Structure formats: structure tokens, C-alpha cells
Amino acid sequence: TKEQGRNHYQFYNPNLSSEAALLLRLESLLHQGLEKKQFFLHYQPQINLKTKKVVGMEALLRWEHPSLGIINPQKFIPLAEKTDLILHLGKWVLQTACEQNISWQKDGLPPISIGVNLSAREVQQPNLAEVVARVLNDTGLDPQWLELELTEMSLRQHLTQARKSLRDLKNLGVRIALDDFGTGFSSLGYLQQFSFRTLKLHQAFIRDLRGTSEELGIISAALAISKGFNMRIVAEGVETEEQLKILSNLNCEEIQGYCFSRPLPVKEATVFLQNAARG
């Protein structure tokens, strides 16, 4: 994909041994980062246009290294994925996001779902459902308020294991979202087979939205598919009022994007929820 291309541009070195050396160094930096609490989460609201309510928050991982500064997840996650570290990092995200959601509920805010991204490695982990169950148990979060976001790519490899993971997760009662919907190869049969709770329409369909009939046709088709399968659909990357209006006219109900809010540090996310709850 384009994103991956960009990452490789940053870190890839045609000299294999130096790539290996860089990976090793990065792995130790990531390890230290976890120990030294350099990771934190930002939260981006998902809004229902009809009710004007916040329906969820997506947790997005951030890494602030003391000398390297803030490092974009699209740079370090693909690298972390090459090592087992992604499993520790993923577990930390899951735990932290669930704790945060419970803490909002305890503050008396209306319950919302927390979206947590899973990497391919996590989806292929045979004990994924156990890890998730333990976190739910430790935090006391009701499974219905956890939505795990995974991409088609993570389901394509090791299909048997991925299928089993998904079945186990569904049995726990957590929601599953298909991230970046529309960019992969999802056939209708595939969507039906996995019965996602949510489709997250990829930003690419929104980014340059001008309202041409072709664009509208594609989005309408995606909306119709979600309806047909009784899945909710969230449009991602909605930045402008104009895009919002187009989506609203197409009856796309749920929106995530800069037009409502950027991903926010926890304090600001809390204020956002408090203001939304006041109406």
C-alpha cells in the first residue's frame, strides 16, 4: 500500500545487514519505550449525525521518544510487527484503552465503545481471545463496549487461525470492525462470513470527495452493503463541512474525522465527552 511505501522510504535500507541492525536497535528502543512509559494513546471521537451523540472513541497509539520526538504509528508499528514486541505493545494498548473507557463510565459519562486497532500479528496469535478476555476481566469493561478494529490484510494471512480468533472474540461478546473497508478485496461472501459489527469506510473515498456522481455512487454502494448485512458503517477521515454535508445527504450516519475532532490526548478527550454529554 501507499502507507507502507512511505514507511519503507523512512527506514528501508537496501543493505540487508544494516536493516537488520536498525531493526534490532528499534526493537530495543521500543522495549525501553514501554518500560519508560513513552507510549500513550490519543482518542478520536465517532459521532452519530442524527443523534449528535458520541458513539465511540478510537484509541490511536503515540510514541514520544525523548530525543527522537513524536514518532508516527505508521512508522513504528510495521517495524514492531516484525518482532514479538507488537504483542506486548498491543496488549498495553488494549489494557490502557479499556481502563480509560471504564474510567469514563465511572465518571458518569454515557457509555461508548472504545475502538482498538489490532495488528496482523495479534490476529494470528492463537491466544488472542484469552488475552482480550483477561483484559476485560481485569478492567471490568463490559465486552459490548470494546470494538476491535482489524484490516482485511490481517485476515488474509493464516486464514484458519484468523477465523478461529474472530469466532472466539465474538463468543466473548466484543464487537469486530473491518478497518479500511473498500480498499481490499472483500467479496460479499467474505463480509457475510465474518459478520463484522462495523465497517470503517476508508479515508480514500472521502479525502477528495467533490460530489461527482461516481464518488456518490461508490459511497452509496458501500452504505447499501452495510445496510444489507446489518452492519454499522463509519466514514473515516471526514475533514470538511462539505464532505460532511455530502455524507449526511447520503444518510451516512456515523462519522470520524477532523471535522469533529482530531485524535485528542486523554484530558481533552474527556472534556470533549463531557461537553457532548451536556448536549
Binding site for Ca ion (CB under 5 A): 117, 149, 179-180
Indicate which of Ca ion, ligand C2E, none lies near residue 249 (CB less than 5 to 8 Å, by partner kind).
none
Q: Judge contact between 133 and 195, C-beta under 8 A.
A: no
From candidates 117, 124, 125, 198, binder to ligand C2E by CB under 6 A: 117
Indicate which of Ca ion, ligand C2E, none lies near residue 114 (CB less than 5 to 8 Å, by partner kind).
none
Q: Which secondary structure element, helix H or strand E, spans residue 79, and what is its range?
A: helix 73-80
Asked if residue 237 binds ligand C2E (CB under 6 A), the reply is: yes
- Angstrom distance (rounded) from CA 237 to CA 12: 28
With b meaning 16 or more CB within 10 Å and e meaning fewer, what string describes 197-236? bbbbbbbebbeebeeeeeebeebeebbebbeeeebbbbbb
CB of residue 264 vs ligand C2E: minimum separation in angstroms?
10
- Angstrom distance (rounded) from CA 64 to CA 205: 31
Count residues binding ligand C2E (CB under 6 A).
22
Asked if residue 61 binds ligand C2E (CB under 6 A), the reply is: yes
C-alpha cell at 181: 473497508
Q: Name every residue whose Cβ is closer than 8 Å to that of residue 83 and which is 6 or more positions away in sequence.
A: 23, 27, 30
Nearer to ligand C2E (CB atom), residue 181 or residue 194? 181
- Angstrom distance (rounded) from CA 271 to CA 107: 12
CB of residue 21 vs Ca ion: minimum separation in angstroms?
31
- Angstrom distance (rounded) from CA 63 to CA 118: 17
Nearer to Ca ion (CB atom), residue 33 or residue 257? 257
From candidates 173, 221, 258, 271, binder to ligand C2E by CB under 6 A: 258
Asked if residue 162 binds ligand C2E (CB under 6 A), the reply is: no
Of the chain, the end-to-end C-alpha distance in Å amounts to: 40
Nearer to ligand C2E (CB atom), residue 228 or residue 265? 265
Tally: H helices and E strands in the chain: 13, 9
Nearer to ligand C2E (CB atom), residue 63 or residue 194? 63
CB of residue 252 vs ligand C2E: minimum separation in angstroms?
14
- Angstrom distance (rounded) from CA 122 to CA 129: 10
- Angstrom distance (rounded) from CA 9 to CA 130: 36
- Angstrom distance (rounded) from CA 142 to CA 84: 28
From candidates 33, 45, 182, 257, binder to ligand C2E by CB under 6 A: 257
Indicate which of ligand C2E, Ca ion, none lies near residue 254 (CB less than 5 to 8 Å, by partner kind).
none
C-alpha cell at 82: 516484525
Binding mask 131-160 for ligand C2E (x = CB under 6 A): ------------------x-----------
Q: Judge contact between 117 and 177, C-beta under 8 A.
A: no
Indicate which of ligand C2E, Ca ion, none lies near residue 152 (CB less than 5 to 8 Å, by partner kind).
none
β-pairing, 39-48 with 254-256?
Answer: antiparallel
Binding mask 64-103 for ligand C2E (x = CB under 6 A): --------xxx--x------------x--x----------
Q: Which residues bind ligand C2E (CB under 6 A)?
A: 44, 60-61, 72-74, 77, 90, 93, 117-119, 149, 179-180, 236-239, 257-258, 263
